[in-house]
Amino acid sequence: MLLGLLEGFGAVLAVAIMLSVAALAAPVSHPSPQLFGDLSQIGTGIFVAFSVAIAGTGIRVGEDLAEHLNWLGNSCGVGIAGLIAIGTSVALAAYRGAHHVGSLDVIGLCWIVAALLMMGLLVAILPYAAFVWSRPPTD
């Protein structure tokens, strides 16, 4: 499960790094405090949906327990990254509200976007995945 947790968190980190490199290489304007406040509200909604979706998925028919724990760890890694993103958006809203400007707000925005995107994608595909997993395997 720990390996899956690191994989999930690492995937968010990799996407955030790629977005950060692209954002810092291009002339991107600094985000407003309102944007970070809005992202924290959106992130909270996605996190609640993510938690419900993950809790609703059980072990797949015919699946090995170790495989399921790896998948569960991966999902938890994405969830932890999302929780950090929500906290980051609240902190950066205060940072920008105090009229601070720097690369920290752009890098933070990239982290928030990467984490919320991956959590949202998991929420979107889990209903279909749960349906497929509930069916017996066909050989």
User: Integer distance in angstroms from the first to the last C-alpha of the chain?
Assistant: 28
139 part of a folded domain? no
Q: Structural domain tally of the chain?
A: 1
Q: Which domain holds residue 106?
A: 2-28+35-134
- 6-39 tens-digit pLDDT: 999 999 999 999 999 999 999 888 899 999 999 9
The answer to whether 33 touches 108, Cβ cutoff 8 Å, is no
80 part of a folded domain? yes
Predicted local distance difference test score (pLDDT) of residue 59? 66
Using DSSP, state whether 62 is helix, strand or coil. coil
114 part of a folded domain? yes
102 part of a folded domain? yes
